[in-house]
Amino acid sequence: MAFTLRGICAGPRLYLVASVTGISIGAIAAIALTRLPPLTTHRITTPLNSAATVIPEPIGSLPDLPSLLISKPSRQWSILGGALLESGLPSLAVPVLEQAIDDDRANTSLRSALGEALALSQNGKVSERARIEFEDVLQANPNDLVARFYMAHWMLQNGKPKPALVKFVGLMRTVGNDPLWYKRLWQIMPEAAQQVGVSRLALEALCVAGM
């Protein structure tokens, strides 16, 4: 899948670039009001409650677009893919992030971003391909927050609510001080808790234990 930023502007792919750079302010506002931003473009600014976990470095995103053409090739694809992901266009982000990975195979943040783009393009369902991406990330970095989050999603989707809840609670204890992570976790944790018979009050107590 080797193509260049110049090539992406030719023929049908011109529309893809126009979608990123020319999308109307109203459309972006509508996206922002109806969905949460992805985790892989989000910069965590609060301390983590875990000495073993490092704050992940976000991939490029919309604020980085002005530096697109002066960045090295792998960074260009990362910025473009992150901008598409952040704009609510995960399906378009997938091939761009694949190219970014081709140029920087050691970058696990890009692998997490590809897995997230695959999941978000299917309304949050973690497909087999996305699962493989996240598992590969966890082999390289067992404490990767984004991969842990989506693997817990996969467990819940595949009839394993108890281990999913354990992982969600662990993430909440680690990164729950961050507003975006707090919101994303509380969107999904109650479903896992309900399936294993844990009340909302008990779930809240589990999340603050050890914090």
pLDDT for the residue numbered 63: 80
Neighbours of 141 (CB within 10 A): 17
* Cα pseudo-dihedral 89, 92, 97, 102, rounded to 10: 180
pLDDT of residue 2: 44
| Tokens encoding 121 | 């393009």
Helices (H), the chain: 5-8, 13-21, 25-34, 73-86, 90-103, 108-120, 128-140, 145-157, 161-175, 179-196, 200-208
Residues 6+ away with beta carbon under 8 Å from 138: 144, 147, 148, 151
8 Å CB contact between 113 and 86:
no
Please tell me the distance from the alpha carbon of residue 68 to that of residue 75, in angstroms, as a whole number: 8
Rg of the chain, C-alpha, whole Å: 18
Residue with the two structure tokens 């990975």 = 101
Judge contact between 168 and 203, C-beta under 8 A: no
Residues with Cβ within 8 Å of 136's Cβ and at least 6 positions away in sequence, in order, are: 111
Q: What is the pLDDT of residue 98?
A: 95
Q: Given this model, what pLDDT does residue 208 score?
A: 86
pLDDT per residue over 53-75, tens digit each? 888 888 987 887 887 777 777 78
Half-sphere exposure of 185 (CA within 13 A, CB side): 26
> pTM for the full model?
0.81
Q: Which residues of the chain have pLDDT under 50?
A: 1-34
| Domains, the chain, ordered by start | 5-208 (1.25.40.10)
Report the amino acid identity of residue 185: L
Separation of alpha carbons 21 and 65, rounded Å: 9
Q: Are 97 and 115 a contacting pair, CB within 8 Å?
A: no
